[in-house]
Amino acid sequence: MSQQQQAPANSTSASVKDDGRDGRLSFRNFAETQLRKEFKAEAMKKCDLQVGTFAECIQEQGLWAPFRCKEFQKDVNECMAVYNSEERFELFKKEHQDEIDSKPYVQAGR
């Protein structure tokens, strides 16, 4: 292939990378990532009982934990499905929208 044929492909991939880069570097994405971490931490607190019993089972069972602690793992997964769902995150995000909007780096319309 000649360099002339490679140039359009390279410029196209560069523009795709630049578009993706803008999204990764935007404050809105950063703020939503931080909100997601806070949201997950709250869900873990709400499921503390299930997580604790699962952790105890793992410590007691050692190498047999994947086989003998399935019921506890199922309880953790069910609890997290309730408190860490996408619907609840959207509500959480709406409740904390002022935190995202109050930052000077957020561009309107994004």
Q: Report pLDDT for 57.
A: 98
- Does 43 score more than 80 pLDDT? yes
Residue bearing the bigger pLDDT, 25 or 76:
76
d(CA 76, CA 84): 11
Instruction: Give the residue from 106, 93, 74 showing the smallest Cα distance to 32.
Output: 93
Q: Report pLDDT for 108.
A: 47
H/E segment holding residue 105 = none
Residues in the chain: 110
Q: Report pLDDT for 96.
A: 86
- Does 110 score more than 50 pLDDT? no
Q: Which DSSP string corresponds to 48-86? A: HHHHHHHHHHHHHHGGGHHHHSHHHHHHHHHHHHHHT-H
Instruction: Return mean pLDDT, the chain.
Output: 80
